[in-house]
Amino acid sequence: MPHGQINFYLSGTEMPKQPSKIIDIHTHFEGAIDLNALAEILYNKFRKGLVKSEELEQKFQNKFQHHLAKDLIAIYLKSPASQQSTCLNKIASHLKKRTVLNKPAKDLRDFISHIPTAFIRWTCTSTTELEYLITQTLAQFPPTHSYLEMQFSPFALKTENLTLEKVIEAFYKVSEDHKYKNFVKFAICLRREKGDLNSQNLAKLTQILRHSGISQKSIKIDIAGEESNYPLSNFTGEIRKLIDSGYELSFHIGETTDRDLGFALETFPEVKHYNHGIKILDHPELIKTARERNIHFATSPLSNYYSGAATKTEAKSLPVRFAKAGLIYSINSDDPVLLDRDLLASYSFAN
């Protein structure tokens, strides 16, 4: 991430309501997608007869998303062929209505169930479609953003037709476009609980990256996923291999448990970017170490509230608490499509 340009390095307790330059270094592609673009791709598949109702059970194991998919097919089938634009608008509207959270989720699992990853897999079956969705998603970020770091999960997005290699290629092809070259950096998100970090998957991933022609400086790897039941210590060897191979890393850590914070600080001093990290505020000795190591905490107060990781009062106070602790931090969007809000809403919320 570009030093000296971070949207927010706070040393005091005053916060600008709308900073002149904004950097978002913690936003997930799957949780930030342009739902209108997704609806457009999906509608075109309906029109060409490429989507079948009998496939839904296999495609959507999550009941909420399974029912939503059935609803979208029903909307298409009930719409007259002469009203294409009306049908498309209805699909987009219903997709948005069912994806956006109107109130905080019951817990983090409920929050994650609204992220439309399965719909991306269902819809984007070619690199052309995926590249279109990526570019339309990037276009949603306003001119006030000067830098964006976006995590994506290649193992979650791959399908039979869209291989792991093709998924990675699509993201880095977009990042090489002159419009985005100095604006966006994509980070490969590896989920603890899904086996993304097992030796076979990691070997496959690193082989693809080595032969991709992508500059290693352009590659960042984010260790994410379910932290409560999957300690970072379970993946010590795999993480060390990535670091020793020269990859820049970030951790999703300290959102729901404080267990991994001390371990990460001591075992992987090379990693300087922690997403969330809010549990560190309860540990003065870890705060001291994080200050000494210059750890950057990419906080997401609004997301923490809606995911159930913090109460409204706790979430609103996070930036000031990080500032008073003397920690380097920024405010970020995380999964803005679920909240139907942009990054400035996170600033307003924290104020």
Give the pLDDT confidence score for residue 52 in this predicted structure. 66
Give start-end residues of each CATH 3.20.20.140 domain in the chain.
Answer: 22-32+105-350
Domain 22-32+105-350: what homologous superfamily? Metal-dependent hydrolases (3.20.20.140)
Q: Which residues, including other chains, have CB under 8 Å from residue 292's CB and lie 6 or more apart? A: none
- From 301, 298, 299, 241, select the one nearest 270 (Cα to Cα): 241
State the greatest distance between any 2 C-alpha atoms of the chain, in Å, as a whole number: 66
Structure tokens at 168: 């990675």
Sheet with 248-253, edge to edge strand ranges: 22-28, 145-152, 184-191, 220-224, 248-253, 273-276, 296-299, 328-331
pLDDT above 50: residue 10? no
Residue 64: what are its φ and ψ, rounded to 5°? -60, -50
Give the pLDDT confidence score for residue 55 in this predicted structure. 67
Assess contact for 301 and 319: CB atoms under 8 A. yes
Structural Rg of the chain based on CA atoms: 20
SS3 (DSSP) at 149: strand
Assess contact for 32 and 336: CB atoms under 8 A. yes
H or E segment to which residue 164 belongs = helix 164-176
The per-residue pLDDT of the chain, averaged, comes to 88
Lowest mean pLDDT among 42-46, 161-165, 275-279: 42-46
Give the pLDDT confidence score for residue 158 in this predicted structure. 95
Assess contact for 280 and 258: CB atoms under 8 A. yes
Bridge-partner residues for 148, per DSSP? 24, 184
Assess contact for 343 and 296: CB atoms under 8 A. no
pTM of model > 0.85:
yes
Residue-wise pLDDT for 217-226, tens only, equals 889 999 999 9
Residue-wise pLDDT for 318-338, tens only, equals 999 999 999 999 999 999 999
The DSSP 8-state label assigned to residue 131 in this structure reads H
Could you tell me the CA-to-CA distances from 285 to 32, 185, 280, 281 in Å, in that order? Answer: 35, 33, 9, 10
